[in-house]
Structure 1
Amino acid sequence: MRDDAPRIDILPNAPGVGFKAQHFDALLADPGPVRWIEVHAENYMGDGGRPLAQLTALQEDFALSVHGVGLSIGGEGPLDRDHLARLKRLCDRVQPASFSEHLAWSTHGAEYLSDLLPLPYTEQTLARVAQHIDEVQQLLGRPMLLENPSSYLAFDASTLSETDFLAELVERCGCGLLLDVNNVFVSATNLGLSPQAYIDAFPTEHVGEIHVGGHDADTDDHGALLLIDSHGKAVVDPVWELLRATLAQTGPKPVLVEWDNDVPDWPELRAEAERAAQVLV
């Protein structure tokens, strides 16, 4: 274990990366400023094997964040009890410093959709999501962080802003928040809003993690700019600047670089972590 290895039960206010198996040896040999890693829960729900063995080895040197993508916490139906049981078993086994999920839904009946879909921000939705968060936190025996989504449309039915919706969930459930700065930039661009105004309205005192990542640019059917939260390339300069402005409000926080598609070799991802470290200074 490195002398400067962080406590495994606390995420340090330092850069982290989403762990990819092909980076295992390089990450251990040359971590640079990286002090913590994130893994997607659904990739580690087996009973053993190489994934969990690698995770156990990495926890000697790095704090761990477990990030869920399959709970469908905003879904209309009840949470999947089998999925929750697998999630609890994983968290009991690896004891992460942090667990987080998305403010989104991805199920319809027995069907699972491989997308994180948006919600109308209404009192009815608020009550349902709060009930689901309470269920997750009680079962896991730990608070969770809820991540703001990337949005490509807004609902006419919404009666609350996204930031007010998240603030009310914190008040009702005692959960924390994961502030994805790239998602803010993507959503604000797509919906014609100010990303800085969103950050100004966000309940930043409850932020436990911050994420940045890459996105793709496209156009919609009317020829307007449309950003896609792809996690498949380097973070763009405006997102780094928004991160800098965010940290000016929150103070130092754990900052994760997400790169899940078209994953680069370790030196390129390490360079992104180094840039995050520079912004954190």
Structure 2
Amino acid sequence: MVGVGLRSPHITQVLEQKPDIGWLEVHSENYFITTSTARQQLRQIAEHYPVSCHGIGLSLGSADPLDRQHLSQLKQLVDEINPIAVSDHLSWSSVDGQFFNDLLPLPYTEEALVHFCRKVDQVQEYLGRQMLIENPSSYLSFAHSAIPEWEFLHQVQQRTGCGLLLDLNNIYVSAFNHGFDCDQYIAALDASAVKEIHLAGFTVKQFEDGEIWIDTHSKPVSEPVWQLYRRWVQQHGRTPTLIEWDLDIPPLSVLLGEADKARNIIMQEAQDGQILTP
């Protein structure tokens, strides 16, 4: 099942044309206000498509306690829409209630692991359902991190029973920025815990002393990320897959074209005998 991230420029078109797409993912926080036009539109969309709620505001890695109002609004949305998945990130974004406009990396230590798992447990208990945790993209790391990110993420999943949202573009971007191997990262995770895959594009930034790759979600999926996805399908079969595009948003047809590429990979591997036919 392949879907696309639903963004505001495409909502009216989706409602009017109802394109052939497996599912849609929304940023949860954009639909918290129950009386808003966006919430009403989402109710209508959920009548025709499976919907996934992807959050960016829980700030699970922060030392701040969970925001109870945020949790309450999320639960109300989840209870009403009944999404196929609820997800957030292996990151933090707040200090003393002040939020940054970014998803920031954690120090990968045992203390941070225990703290993050406690937060995940609290959210899952409050929502009464499993949530998915997405691997981040990052550009800096903490010198005192003692656990590789992939092992940290694996331990979060093992200790909390959460699922994983595997963003292959994030792995590819971070692998370049930090010098690790994509396949080593993926192999360290429990593939059966991966309930969703994200695919997106990135931007290369050039500086005098080198370059850095930025997870901008503003371009088509790169060929190396498609190769990672093909290997995933070959080894693990079909996993709900999403095309993300958040900046420089193109016509909906472009996103649907990217979704078709993912479906074609699935079908090709099925024809080659690697997986069961969808």
Q: Calculate the TM-score normalised by the size of structure 1.
A: 0.91
Deviation at 1:30, TM superposition (A): 5.4
Q: Is the 8 A contact 2:3 2:25 kept in 1?
A: yes
Matches within 5 A, 1:235-250: 235-250=221-236
* Residue aligned with 2:192, SS: helix
Deviation at 1:220, TM superposition (A): 4.6
Return the match for 2:178 from 191, 200, 220. Answer: 191
Residue 232 (1) aligns with residue 222 (2): no
Q: Is the 8 A contact 2:133 2:163 kept in 1?
A: yes
Matches within 5 A, 1:92-107: 92-107=79-94
CA distance in 1, matches of 2:122, 2:63: 14
CA distance in 2, matches of 1:195, 1:220: 24
* Corresponding letter in the other structure for 2:234: A
**Residues 154, 249 of structure 1: CA spacing in aligned structure 2 closer, same or farther, 3 A cutoff?**
farther
* Corresponding letter in the other structure for 1:21: S
Percent identical pairs in the alignment equals 44
The residue aligned with 2:153 is 166
Residue 52 (1) aligns with residue 27 (2): no
Q: Is the 8 A contact 1:143 1:175 kept in 2?
A: yes
Residue 135 (1) aligns with residue 122 (2): yes
CA distance in 2, matches of 1:241, 1:89: 39
* Corresponding letter in the other structure for 1:236: S
Deviation at 1:247, TM superposition (A): 2.0
Residue 123 (1) aligns with residue 110 (2): yes
Q: Is the 8 A contact 1:18 1:256 kept in 2?
A: yes
Q: Is the 8 A contact 1:101 1:147 kept in 2?
A: yes
Residue 22 (1) aligns with residue 15 (2): no
Residue 71 (1) aligns with residue 76 (2): no
* Residue aligned with 2:88, SS: strand
**Residues 20, 212 of structure 1: CA spacing in aligned structure 2 closer, same or farther, 3 A cutoff?**
same
The residue aligned with 2:239 is 253
Residue 210 (1) aligns with residue 197 (2): yes
The residue aligned with 1:108 is 95
CA distance in 2, matches of 1:107, 1:30: 37
* Residue aligned with 1:100, SS: strand
CA distance in 2, matches of 1:244, 1:27: 28
Q: Is the 8 A contact 2:64 2:97 kept in 1?
A: no
Deviation at 1:203, TM superposition (A): 2.1
* Corresponding letter in the other structure for 2:66: L
Q: Is the 8 A contact 1:210 1:256 kept in 2?
A: yes
CA distance in 1, matches of 2:67, 2:82: 22
Comparing both chains, which one has the higher relative contact order based on Cα–Cα distances under 8 Å and sequence gaps of 6 or more?
Answer: 1
* Corresponding letter in the other structure for 2:260: E
The residue aligned with 2:276 is none
**Residues 102, 220 of structure 1: CA spacing in aligned structure 2 closer, same or farther, 3 A cutoff?**
farther
The residue aligned with 2:260 is 274
The residue aligned with 1:182 is 169
The residue aligned with 1:31 is 19
CA distance in 2, matches of 1:57, 1:280: 29
* Residue aligned with 2:196, SS: strand
**Residues 103, 30 of structure 1: CA spacing in aligned structure 2 closer, same or farther, 3 A cutoff?**
same
Deviations 1:128-173 (A, max 9, x none): 0011001100110110000000021222211211111111111211
CA distance in 1, matches of 2:112, 2:235: 29
Deviations 1:8-42 (A, max 9, x none): xxxxxx1111112332343352523x210000011
Question: RMSD value over aligned CA atoms?
Answer: 1.3
Q: Is the 8 A contact 2:154 2:188 kept in 1?
A: no
Residue 144 (1) aligns with residue 131 (2): yes
* Corresponding letter in the other structure for 1:188: A
Return 160-169 or 66-75, whichever deviates more: 160-169
What runs of 5+ residues in structure 1 fail to find an aligned partner? 1-13
CA distance in 2, matches of 1:62, 1:274: 17
CA distance in 2, matches of 1:43, 1:165: 29
Q: Is the 8 A contact 1:181 1:211 kept in 2?
A: yes
